Amino acid sequence: MSRASTVSPTRLLLTVLLALLPLACTSSDRAAQDSFDLAQFEERQGNMDHARQLYQEILSRYPQSEWAQKAKGRLEALPSK
């Protein structure tokens, strides 16, 4: 049996996880962006309560993302209830 064909299960698992890591990060960032876009749409439609709720969800779910910072800015800019 050649050395190339013997890969430990642990090494294989780590290789797969490392390969998938960028997809997980991208997926999370994409979800935050999608939520932000929807919140902005709700603002344009005059649905301020729903927009506010979506921005708050972004802050809760993705606190370290650039979208959280943008959501915080939009929350501060929205008129008070």
**pLDDT tens, residue by residue, 23-70:** 555 688 889 999 999 999 999 999 999 999 999 999 999 999 999 999
Whether residue 7 lies inside any domain: the answer is no
Identify the residue with better confidence: 27 or 21.
27
Phi-psi region of 75 (alpha: psi -120 to 50; beta: other; left: phi over 0): alpha
- Can you give the residue range of the structural domain that contains 79? 32-81
Question: Residue 67: which residues within 8 A CB-CB, separation 6 or more?
Answer: 29, 32, 33, 35, 36, 58
In a domain, 6, yes or no: no
Number of domains comprising the chain? 1
